[in-house]
Structure formats: structure tokens, C-alpha cells
Structure 1
Amino acid sequence: MLSSAQSSTSRRDDFGTLPDGRDVHRWTLADETGLTASVLTYGAILQSLTVPGTDGRAVNVALGYDTLGGYLTRVPYFGATIGRFGNRIAGGRFTLDGRVHEVPLSDAPRPNSLHGGEEGFDTRLWEAEPVDGGVELTLVSADGDQGFPGTLRVSVRYTLTAGQLRIDYRATTDAPTVVNLTNHSYLNLAGEGADTVLDHELALAADAFLPVDPQLIPLGAAGSVAGTPFDFTTPRALGERIHEAHEQLRLAGGYDHCWVLDGGRTAEPRPVAWLAHAPSGRVLTVSTTEPGIQVYSGNGLDGSLTGPSGRRYGRYAGVALETQHFPDSPNRPDFPSTELRPGAEYRSTTIYGFGGEAPRQ
């Protein structure tokens, strides 16, 4: 299929069959710059993201699998659309309108709900339809699904044009609920089979971050990044300070924290993060409407999983830049609200742009 409006192409092929016999499809999008993205109907997963470099090579920079079987293990959420609530909810409990809701504990050994529970949106088969420049996936999450109230109707639209992958999230509900959607792609701009992202430079439009307790739940108010290994207000290598003797790094085994983005929630996406790999010349600019970004440095990757390149994914093999609201927001009235009520629409947009320049020191 060709969309003249977007100067990009999309095609669908088969990607396997679920144990219950339902077919999984892969939608591959391509634009005029050589950027390609493959999206699965299982989990609304970004399965691959192939990006040209200044060295003339185009490589897949998204960690993942080349067969459906790998994704059914669901171990590290490679490329997944996360919902109904991305990140952690302390104790798997929250109160909404005076009623306590319990959601599955899925963050072992920590007593938290993580990424929507054991059967979150990353485990669902989504419906898909082509749109100009991309594909739109839809899902209905029933009232009580994983303990969350309200029937939620969700759409995730991936579109590709002019070197940018845009992800638009929309949701409505028939009863008060909480929503926090994100994408959990692990990126390595050297290629998904490269050893580490610790040589990548990262910059964040954030003067503050959320320190966490031993369960990786925010302690309270945001803390300044100044004078800490969490200061990426100017570009620094991810590995420059990741091994420092800082209590927050020790608790998470690296970076697994939410940065409070300058400007808070915005109506339109604005640039908030830059990731650069000097040898290939690849630079990623992340723009979003969200108030926070969770940076996860792949601390839990242990070499037991193998990607399409045939290389094992060791510690720090990829970095996730998860645009979202703050962890444990349903229990934190001082955080930006994640509540969604009937008659309102949840809207969130994140754009991964390639081909620009990273901020200078």
C-alpha cells in the first residue's frame, strides 16, 4: 500500500500463530529516508526499527526477536505497548473515588504491579487497520481487566514519514479509571547485536528526577539532578557515571528512574531526549507530550536472550526511553493525574526522530 500523503509504504505479512490458533501479523512501514519500522499485532510491539547511518549502513536498532515464540516468553517487554498502567503501582493497590482496587503483583521479587500486570496490553492480540503513512491498532480492555475499573477502548497509531516514527495513543472509558501508556523499546544505535549502549551519549531536558526506595517506588518529591550521576542536562555517555557509588544506582543496578521533564505535560510534543552514537553518526531525538521519561539502562539483561543478529543480549545491551506519567501516580495526589473519566479522552504522542544533531556541551 502507498500513501501519497505521507510518501511512505506499508505492507502486512504473517508473523506466526498463537497457541489458541489466532494469527499474528507484522506491519512494515518505510519512508523516503530509508527508515523502516515493523509493528506486530501481538502486543502492538515495535519489532524492529531500521535506521541509516552516516557510514552508509542501515541497521535494526531495536532489541527483539525474529519469531513470535520469543515474544510469548514476555521476559523483558521488548518493543511492547505497555498498559493499562506503565511502570509501577506500589503494593498493587490504589484508591479511586473512595474504592480500593487491587491489581496483580508482577514485579517479583518486589511487591508491586508492573506494566499492567501479568496479562497486560503487551500480551494481547490487537486489531489493525492501515492508515495514511502507517497502521492503527485497537484494543478493548474490559471492566475489571487485571483489576482495573472501566471498559477501556484504546488505539495506538504508528506512522512513519521524513525520518520520524510517531506514536499516537488514544483511550476512552465508560467508568473512572487510571491510564498510563508507553512503548518499551530497547534501543542500541550501533545495532541490536552490539555489545553495549554505555558509549552512547544521552541528554535530557530535565533538571529533576524521582529518587526511589528499595522497591523502586518514588520516595516523594523530585530531587535535583545537579551534582549527581542523574545530570544529563548536557550530553554525557550513559556509562560515564553508571558505576559510581551512588545509593540510587545501587538500588536499581544502574538507571531505572523517572526524570521530571521540563515544562510538564504539553498539548503538543516537544523535544525532551537525545541519544547519539558517534561511530555510526546515528542521533535519536525523542519528543513527547508526557511529563516524564523513564530511562532504563537494561540492567536486567543477563545474556540469556538472543536477538535476530544471533548475539546474546547482555547487561546494558539496550536503553529504554519510556515517555510516560510518573510511577505510582494513582497513589500520589501530588503527581500529575493519570485518572481518566467518562466523556474525556486520554491522548499522548511520542515521536522518535532520526537524522538531527545532538545538543552540544
Structure 2
Amino acid sequence: MPTVTHSPAGTLPDGRLIRLWRLAAPGVTAEVLDLGASLHSLRCPDRTGRPDEVVVSPLDPADRLGAARYLGATIGRYANRIAGARLPTPDGLLPLDANERTHTLHGGTGGFDVRVWSAHPVAEGGAAGVVLRLVSPAGDQGFPGELHVSVTYSLSDAGELRIDYRATTDARTVVNLTNHTYWNLAGGTGATVLDHDLQVAADHYTRADAEMLPLPGPPEPVGGTPFDLTSPRRIGEALEVPDAQIRLAGGGFDHNWALGAAGSDVPARAAVLAHRPSGRLLECLTTQPGLQVYTGNHFDGSFLDRRGRPVRRHGGIALETQHFPDAPRRPDFPSTWLDPGEVHRSTTVYRFGVLP
């Protein structure tokens, strides 16, 4: 039976105390911080059975408020971008916090990733975990409605990590929650993810403009582009293909893939990440309609990982299961609106294995 324990994790510069929750199952351990409801660590074995760290996290938890912001965190109220920091409502455009030029990114300057959540252990169905809760007041970062959010991390006896999201509101609002973990399956032996293979279960993606906002029109076919990941493809090889979209994103992926199996409450395969030298394999399943893949194009060595090494460009890859960017302003995209009396629910599952 998996176990869950907790311990102090330090004090932030502003005096807030943070705690760490450790989930353990045979072969796999995960650590969750109440700061940002963040996945801080995950250790899983390579093909020889040797466990090692596969999550990119800062050595100093305080870096999560600055240079290492968003790493492993729960993002909200709205993951990704809302153009012009304006939310369309029946009464007109509601101003939001603009924290990326003129746009709202990942919920605003004071998004969910910099909050300390309440946390309690849970154990059911042969899994052990921790449920983290947060109340976002009406007007938080400009968003309407008081939002009650819970995020539950649970680890099964088979070493499967599951994240369940739930939210309710007292007034019509938008919700788009995700986890922003950066993965590097090399387990400390590789500085980048360029030698990883990635497969995404999507044959369309949303092209972006210079502000990394989706262009008008429906998602476009991936065929003939570096975004064709319908079969496993070496990340470094894909990023070497001359392509305007890759250049706009700073020399990597920062794009949304439109998943074909959205709308079900049963998680479906979204992506498979593999590292052939170590043999590690990560399968991502989700109920969400989109997958934002980001290859850490901005990492510049300004913070250290848990081994004390600078995290540099392409040092990790984020597989953000979520709704499409700018969906509140795009009625042609799957809706992110939540009304009183409704419950927002989504699930993402990570399975760990080894290549033959």
C-alpha cells in the first residue's frame, strides 16, 4: 500500500511556512509542496532498476517566486494566455491583470502558483495522496466569482501518479487548470531533453502569432511540419527543422496540440515521452482537450536544480494538459466557462515504465 508523510520544507522570504508531502509506492516516489500545489520531485527507475529524479525543480524553493516560477506548479485561474488581459462578459470586457506585456499569462501576477494551499492526506482505492485546497476571492487578478479549487495528487500501488482537479464558483467565470511540471527523464545524466523522443496523440495544432496567441481559424494539420509528433520523434531533430513557428517560440515548442479524444471523463493518451539511453518512459493521459508542449526555451541558468546545477535552455519539457489558449475570447474553441451550480472536473495521469 502506498504511503503519505509530510514535513516542513522551509520559510519563504515573506515569512510564509511551506510543507512537503511525500508519496511513496514500490519503485516510485513523489513529493508535493503546498506552495503552488507543486509537484516538487518524482523518482522512478531506469531500465536497470536504478531510481533517479525526473522532475526539474529549483534547489531553493524561494526561486519558485522568481526565476523558477511555474515549475511543477498548479496554474490558475487560467493556464496559458488571455489576449489583451480582457475577459468578454455580457456587460463588456472585464480587465484582468496583465503580466506578460498586455496579456494575462497563467492567471496573472499573483496566480495560484505563488499561493500556499491548505493540504490534507487522503487514502482510498489502493492509492495514497494529498488534497490541496484554495479559495480564490471574487476579483482575484480581475476574474469574477469566488472560486473554490481542489487538486488531489495520488500515487497508486503500481506507481501511477494521478492529478484530479475540481472547482466551483458563485458567479460565472472561466477556469483552466493545469500542472506545469518540467520533465527530464535522463535522471541527472543529461542537461537537455533534446535527446528525448516525443509522441503526441494529435494531428492538429494551433499556430501562434508573435505574441504566442493562437491565430484565427481552426487548428491546422501537423503533417509536413515539425509539429507532426503522431509517431515518436527526437525532440532535437524536430526543433532543427527550419520553421517560422519554432522561431517565434524562441527556438522550440510553445504550442497547443488539439487532442482528438476530449470531452470524456476517462483519461485518454495525450503523449508519450521516452529517453532511450536510460530506458525511462512517461505516458501522459488526460480528460482535457489540449496539450501545451513547452521545451524550456527561456531557461538561462539563472537558478539551480536540486543537484546544484544551472538549468539551461531545453533543460526540461512541460506537457501541460489544459484547454486551448485564449479560449474565453474564442467561441470556436472548447468552452472554459463555469457557472454557479456546475462543477469543473479534469484528470491527468502519469504512468512510468521502461523501454524494451
Q: Is the 8 A contact 2:59 2:304 kept in 1?
A: no
- Structure 2: distance between partners of 1:151 and 1:323: 24
Deviations 1:19-44 (A, max 9, x none): 44332100010112x11110001110
Q: 1:25 aligned to 2, 19, 23, which one?
A: 19
Q: Equivalences for 1:207-356 in 2 at 5 Å?
A: 207-220=203-216, 221-253=218-250, 254-355=252-353
- Structure 1: distance between partners of 2:322 and 2:263: 10
Q: Equivalences for 1:100-115 in 2 at 5 Å?
A: 100-107=93-100, 110-115=101-106
- Structure 2: distance between partners of 1:67 and 1:12: 18
Equivalenced residues, count: 349
* Residue 92 (str. 1) matches residue 85 (str. 2): yes
* Residue 160 (str. 1) matches residue 155 (str. 2): yes
Deviations 1:287-320 (A, max 9, x none): 0000000000110001222111121111101000
Change (3 A) 1:158 1:192: farther
Letter of the structure 2 residue corresponding to residue 227 of structure 1? G
Q: 2:110 aligned to 119, 139, 145, which one?
A: 119
- Structure 2: distance between partners of 1:356 and 1:171: 35
- Over aligned residue pairs, what C-alpha RMSD do you find? 1.4
Deviations 1:121-140 (A, max 9, x none): 00101000000100000000
Q: Percent identity?
A: 52
Letter of the structure 2 residue corresponding to residue 112 of structure 1? H
Quote how far apart the aligned CAs of 1:193 are: 6.5
- Structure 1: distance between partners of 2:111 and 2:21: 21
Quote how far apart the aligned CAs of 1:195 are: 0.8
Q: 2:62 aligned to 50, 56, 69, which one?
A: 69
Q: Is the 8 A contact 1:185 1:320 kept in 2?
A: yes
- Structure 2: distance between partners of 1:357 and 1:292: 26
Letter of the structure 2 residue corresponding to residue 174 of structure 1? D
- Structure 2: distance between partners of 1:344 and 1:227: 41
Moved more, 344-353 or 307-316: 307-316
| Structure 1 unaligned spans of 5+ | 1-6
* Residue 184 (str. 1) matches residue 177 (str. 2): no
- Structure 1: distance between partners of 2:344 and 2:75: 15
TM-score, normalising length: structure 1: 0.94
Deviations 1:121-178 (A, max 9, x none): 0010100000010000000000000000000000000000112110000000000000
Letter of the structure 1 residue corresponding to residue 331 of structure 2? P
Q: 1:134 aligned to 129, 138, 156, which one?
A: 129
Change (3 A) 1:103 1:8: same
Q: For 2:59, what is the secondary structure of its paired residue?
A: coil
Letter of the structure 2 residue corresponding to residue 241 of structure 1? A
Letter of the structure 2 residue corresponding to residue 135 of structure 1? V
Letter of the structure 2 residue corresponding to residue 46 of structure 1? L
Quote how far apart the aligned CAs of 1:70 are: 2.0
Moved more, 193-202 or 269-278: 193-202
Q: For 1:12, what is the secondary structure of its paired residue?
A: strand
- Structure 1: distance between partners of 2:5 and 2:333: 41
Moved more, 49-58 or 145-154: 49-58
Q: Is the 8 A contact 1:86 1:181 kept in 2?
A: yes
Which residue does the alignment assign to 2:192?
196
Q: Is the 8 A contact 1:193 1:313 kept in 2?
A: no
- Structure 1: distance between partners of 2:92 and 2:43: 46
Which residue does the alignment assign to 1:81?
74
Q: Is the 8 A contact 1:155 1:171 kept in 2?
A: yes
Q: Is the 8 A contact 1:15 1:67 kept in 2?
A: no
- Structure 1: distance between partners of 2:188 and 2:36: 20
- Structure 1: distance between partners of 2:225 and 2:7: 47
Q: Is the 8 A contact 1:8 1:160 kept in 2?
A: yes
Q: For 1:250, what is the secondary structure of its paired residue?
A: helix
Letter of the structure 2 residue corresponding to residue 344 of structure 1? E
| Structure 2 unaligned spans of 5+ | none
Query: Which 4+ runs in 1 deviate beyond 6 A?
Result: none
Which residue does the alignment assign to 1:4?
none
Q: Is the 8 A contact 2:46 2:354 kept in 1?
A: no
Moved more, 94-103 or 256-265: 94-103
Quote how far apart the aligned CAs of 1:96 are: 2.2
Quote how far apart the aligned CAs of 1:357 are: 5.5
Quote how far apart the aligned CAs of 1:76 are: 3.8
